[in-house]
Structure 1
Amino acid sequence: MNGYLLFILSVLLVGYLIDLVVALLNLRSLNPRLPAEFAGVFQPDQYVRSQEYTRVQTRFSLLQSTVSLVLTILFILVGGFHYIDLVARSFNLSSIGTGLLFTGLFGLLSAVLSLPFSVYSTFVIEQRFGFNTTTVTTFVLDYGKGLLLAVLLGGPLLAAILWFFEFAGTWAWLYCWAAVATFIFVVQLLAPVVIMPLFNKFIPLDEGDLNERITRYAAAQRFALQGIYTMDGSRRSTRANAFFTGFGRFRRIVFFDTLMDKLNTDEIVAVLAHEMGHYKLRHIPVMMTLSIAQMGIMFFILSLFLGNPGLFEAFRMEHLSIYASLVFFGFLYAPISTVLAIGLNLVSRRHEYQADRYAVETGGAGSGGEALIQGLKKLSVSNLSNLTPHPLHVFLHYSHPPILARIGALRRLGAAGSGS
Structure 2
Amino acid sequence: MEAEAAIFVSVVAFSWLVFAWEALLYRRQRRVHLSTLTVPPELVGSSLTQETLLKARSYQLDKGAFGSVSNLYSQIESTLILLLGGIPYLWSFTGDLVRRLGYSADYEVSRSCLFLLLASLFSAATSLPWSLYGNFVVEERHGFNKQTLGFFLKDQLKKLVVMQMIVLPISSLLLHIIQRGGPLFFLYAWAFTLLVTLLLITVYADYIAPLFDRFTPLPDGPLRREIESMAASIAFPLTKIYVVEGSKRSSHSNAYFYGFYKNKRIVLFDTLLAKGVEPQGEGEELQGEEPKGKGEEPKGEEPQGKGEESLGKEPQGEVPQGKGEEPQGKGEEPKEKKDAKLGCSNEEVLAVLGHELGHWKLGHTTKNLVISQVNSLLCFSLFAALIGRPELFAAFGFHDEQPTLIGLIIIFQFVFSPYNELLSVVLTVLSRRFEFAADAFAASLGRATALRSALVKLSSDNLGLPVADWLYSAWRYSHPPLLERLRALGDARKDD
- Letter of the 1:18 partner, please give it: W
The superposition leaves residues 356-409 of structure 1 with CA deviations (integer Å, 9 ceiling, x where unpaired) of 11111123x1xxx11110011000001111211112112221111111111111
What's 1:32 paired with?
37
What's 2:50 paired with?
44
Tell me by how many angstroms 1:145 deviates: 2.4
What's 1:305 paired with?
386
* Partner Cα distance (2:152, 2:437) in 1: 37
1:15 aligns with 2:97: no
- Letter of the 2:82 partner, please give it: I
User: How is 1:148-297 mapped onto 2 (pairs within 5 angstroms)?
Assistant: 148-261=161-274, 262-297=343-378
* Partner Cα distance (2:394, 2:79) in 1: 15
Report the more deviating stretch, 43-52 or 20-29: 43-52
- Letter of the 2:37 partner, please give it: P
* Partner Cα distance (1:255, 1:101) in 2: 38
* Partner Cα distance (1:45, 1:298) in 2: 49
The gaps in structure 2 that reach 5 residues or longer are 99-103, 275-342
Q: Is the 8 A contact 1:103 1:323 kept in 2?
A: no
Q: CA RMSD in A?
A: 1.5
Evaluate the alpha carbon distance shift between residue 246 and residue 135 of structure 1 in structure 2; reply closer, same or farther with a 3 A threshold: farther
TM-score (norm 1): 0.95
Tell me by how many angstroms 1:32 deviates: 2.2
What's 2:158 paired with?
145
TM-score (norm 2): 0.80
What's 1:317 paired with?
398
When the two structures are aligned, how many residues end up with a matched partner? 413
* Partner Cα distance (1:111, 1:390) in 2: 33
* Partner Cα distance (1:392, 1:299) in 2: 32
* Partner Cα distance (2:461, 2:42) in 1: 16
SS of structure 2 residue aligned to 1:151: helix
1:406 aligns with 2:485: yes
Tell me by how many angstroms 1:139 deviates: 1.6
- Letter of the 2:39 partner, please give it: L
* Counterpart pick for 2:63 among 32, 36, 57: 57
- Letter of the 1:305 partner, please give it: L
What's 2:325 paired with?
none
* Partner Cα distance (2:31, 2:428) in 1: 23
1:80 aligns with 2:86: yes
Q: Is the 8 A contact 1:201 1:231 kept in 2?
A: yes
SS of structure 2 residue aligned to 1:252: strand
Q: Is the 8 A contact 1:244 1:254 kept in 2?
A: yes
What's 1:71 paired with?
77
Tell me by how many angstroms 1:280 deviates: 1.2
The superposition leaves residues 95-118 of structure 1 with CA deviations (integer Å, 9 ceiling, x where unpaired) of 111111112222221221111111
Tell me by how many angstroms 1:53 deviates: 1.4
Sequence identity of aligned pairs in percent? 30
* Partner Cα distance (2:29, 2:215) in 1: 37
What's 1:122 paired with?
135
Tell me by how many angstroms 1:38 deviates: 2.0
Tell me by how many angstroms 1:249 deviates: 4.7
What's 2:441 paired with?
358
Q: Is the 8 A contact 1:241 1:255 kept in 2?
A: yes
* Partner Cα distance (1:315, 1:112) in 2: 24
The gaps in structure 1 that reach 5 residues or longer are none
SS of structure 1 residue aligned to 2:242: strand
Q: Is the 8 A contact 1:79 1:317 kept in 2?
A: no
What's 1:4 paired with?
7
Moved over 3 A (4+): none
SS of structure 2 residue aligned to 1:248: coil
* Partner Cα distance (1:396, 1:351) in 2: 16
* Partner Cα distance (2:484, 2:391) in 1: 48
Report the more deviating stretch, 2-11 or 316-325: 316-325
Q: Is the 8 A contact 1:205 1:229 kept in 2?
A: yes
* Partner Cα distance (1:52, 1:303) in 2: 49
* Partner Cα distance (2:380, 2:135) in 1: 35
What's 1:326 paired with?
408
Q: Is the 8 A contact 2:109 2:172 kept in 1?
A: yes
Q: Is the 8 A contact 2:38 2:50 kept in 1?
A: no
What's 2:457 paired with?
378
Tell me by how many angstroms 1:348 deviates: 1.1
Q: Is the 8 A contact 1:307 1:321 kept in 2?
A: no
What's 2:312 paired with?
none
* Partner Cα distance (1:233, 1:253) in 2: 15
Q: Is the 8 A contact 1:189 1:250 kept in 2?
A: no
Q: Is the 8 A contact 1:277 1:359 kept in 2?
A: yes
Q: Is the 8 A contact 1:190 1:246 kept in 2?
A: no
The superposition leaves residues 192-228 of structure 1 with CA deviations (integer Å, 9 ceiling, x where unpaired) of 2111111111111111111121122222222221111
- Letter of the 1:206 partner, please give it: P
Evaluate the alpha carbon distance shift between residue 250 and residue 220 of structure 1 in structure 2; reply closer, same or farther with a 3 A threshold: closer
Q: Is the 8 A contact 1:191 1:246 kept in 2?
A: no
* Partner Cα distance (1:338, 1:150) in 2: 25
* Partner Cα distance (1:153, 1:250) in 2: 24
Q: Is the 8 A contact 2:257 2:267 kept in 1?
A: yes
